[in-house]
Structure 1
Amino acid sequence: MGYALLTPAILLLVLFVVIPAILAFVLGFTNARLISPNPPELVGFTNFTRLFADPVFLRSLTNVAFFAVIVVPVQSGLALILALLVNTKIRGTTFFRTIYFFPVVTSMVVVSLLWMFLYRRDGLFNVIIDKITFGIIQGPDWINDPTTAMPSIIVLSIWQAVGFHMIIWLSGLQTISEELYEAARLDGASRGQLFRYVTWPGLTATRNLILVTITIQALSLFTQIDVMTKGGPLNATSTVVFQAVRTGFTQQETGYASAISAVFFLIVLIISSIQRFATREK
């Protein structure tokens, strides 16, 4: 009966995860195109050789690394601060939990379209800058300037997803026994010492989960880029996933897009494995 209940989920996983993953590795060694009268031919490591000499791919890899390095610590830290604030037993915390979580349940496409209006040259952010500085400073064209495009995407991404990780931190905080805090207070522990010696060690499992999930989400950055910048300007916001989708569906180079996906999978696997090893229970 157990296997019978598992069968539908297993079939869906095989159909939509396992088979596409295998095809991605196999097609990466071919010259397959999305629409072509000619059958795919094996080309060996040609796609992979081309990949590591492709300046767009290298720029996309750099952009993703920059995005992850900023987003992972800032988003996780901000989410922890919010979780600590809404974990207090005072009136109104449920309201603030809902407010902080609201962007998470909003479609990323809708959020991206909304922030596009905020980032316009005549958008809200530039109007605020103009009012505060009495017209002395003119705000930039945020998502059309290579120097501000990726930072703008970073701010949007942190704002949208911080509520989700706040809930995970909150669930971890609520598993810590109140008796530990009472014992520490009896020993004269200050508020900072309570966090350092009781809260932070008690969040070990939660911390490891958040580290891995935020990193994978950061490396998989796509929707914001596809809606707001299309990888521009001058590839300043191009990412590995976006390049793979654009190469496979717009340029119809399925083989080359599969090579990009395969390399990206290996990169994420290596990073996740290192994180799991570094954060394992000693």
Structure 2
Amino acid sequence: MTALVTPNARSRGNRKEQFAALAMFLPAGVLILTFLVIPIALTFILAFTNTRLISPEPGRFIGLENFANLFTDDTFWAALRNTVIFTIVVVPVQSGLALLVAVLVNSKVRGTTFFRTVYFLPVVTSIVVVSMLWLFLYQRNGLINVLLSKIGIQGPDWLGDPHWALFAIIVMSIWQAMGFHMIIWLSGLQTIPGELYEAAALDGATRWQQFAHVTWPGLRATRTFILITITIAAFGLFAQINVMTQGGPLDATTTLVFGAVRAGFQQQQTGYASAISLVFFVLVLIVTLIQTLLTRDKEAK
């Protein structure tokens, strides 16, 4: 005879499952609480105080004073302008080049594995190492200016000229992260059924028509993901600036994240840095929501 499961036994089994689930969630939950929830909560609190990193006097509530100072600070507006320019240029150029490379390496020809590795290599290399490498390339007598001099062009002081510094950072950043998004595009390309291309070829569609009517619609979910991830990464520009320019010259490369770090740790103005971080958080949230809404509208159509 089949043994009947009593309610008590079922209850004990459910409790064991709940305990096991809690035990597996606990490590991740502690990390999320420690490094995400608590810092975000402290940022919201400290943004309305005059707290300093090292000070014998405790911080006190000052209301919106940090934000009033922030919105009248020329350095903040320069950082916001640089961040927006960087994002506007990097998002379409980086995603477009990554898609082009992905289409090329997705072709069934010899050597594609080698090129995938070459394009992805800068991604797995430390951003600090990459920044140091390009720092040497951008010197007045660096490799880039030497090559330009061979064709009769006198290269500028890439990182020392306010007119060229941000452009130099943009070029380096696009090159460094393009391989990561190439891999994402490539994974999306490989989910498109080959039968669709065969049917399009039988109908006489050209390569461009196949891309426009088969490839691009098939990458809808992939391009949404890439658009959001590139935008968030572009707004968070910091490491390159910290290594290569320190925000100079004349705040030509200062960004919101670098400004927050500089205010919080170098100038020890924790409350003011929290205000910058809060503005940055709201800005990224608004941009992400707008992108999501626009993408949903297009998909619905």
- Please confirm whether the aligned pair reaches a TM-score higher than 0.5, indicating the same fold: yes
Aligned residues: 279
1:187 CA drift (Å): 1.6
Aligned to 1:203: 219
In structure 1, give the amino acid aligned to 2:38.
I
Q: 2:287 aligns with which of 259, 271, 275?
A: 271
Q: Does the alignment pair 1:176 with 2:192? A: yes
C-alpha distance in 2 between matches for 1:6 and 1:184: 48
In structure 2, give the amino acid aligned to 1:27.
L
Q: 1:24 aligns with which of 43, 49, 59?
A: 43
Q: Does the alignment pair 1:220 with 2:239? A: no
1:23 CA drift (Å): 0.4
C-alpha distance in 2 between matches for 1:145 and 1:90: 44
Matches within 5 A, 1:1-282: 1-133=20-152, 137-280=153-296, 281-282=299-300
Instruction: Please give the secondary structure, in 2, of the residue aligned with 1:145.
Output: coil
C-alpha distance in 1 between matches for 2:62 and 2:25: 39
1:4 CA drift (Å): 2.1
In structure 2, give the amino acid aligned to 1:10.
G
Single out whichever of 184-193 and 23-32 deviates more from structure 2.
184-193
C-alpha distance in 2 between matches for 1:197 and 1:162: 25
1:40 CA drift (Å): 0.7
C-alpha distance in 2 between matches for 1:28 and 1:215: 25
C-alpha distance in 2 between matches for 1:126 and 1:193: 41
In structure 1, give the amino acid aligned to 2:41.
I
1:276 CA drift (Å): 0.8
C-alpha distance in 2 between matches for 1:103 and 1:150: 20
Instruction: Please give the secondary structure, in 1, of the residue aligned with 2:159.
Output: helix
Aligned to 2:7: none
C-alpha distance in 2 between matches for 1:139 and 1:176: 44
In structure 2, give the amino acid aligned to 1:3.
L
Q: CA deviation digits over 1:89-116, x for unaligned, max 9?
A: 1111000000000000010100110111
C-alpha distance in 2 between matches for 1:279 and 1:6: 33
Q: CA deviation digits over 1:202-240, x for unaligned, max 9?
A: 000000000000000000000000000000000000000
In structure 1, give the amino acid aligned to 2:25.
L
Consecutive aligned runs of 4 or more in structure 1 exceeding 4 Å deviation: none
Instruction: Please give the secondary structure, in 1, of the residue aligned with 2:205.
Output: coil
C-alpha distance in 2 between matches for 1:131 and 1:190: 41
C-alpha distance in 2 between matches for 1:43 and 1:178: 63
1:3 CA drift (Å): 3.0
5+ residue gaps, structure 1: none
C-alpha distance in 2 between matches for 1:232 and 1:106: 25
In structure 2, give the amino acid aligned to 1:40.
G
C-alpha distance in 2 between matches for 1:189 and 1:8: 54
- CA RMSD after TM alignment: 0.7
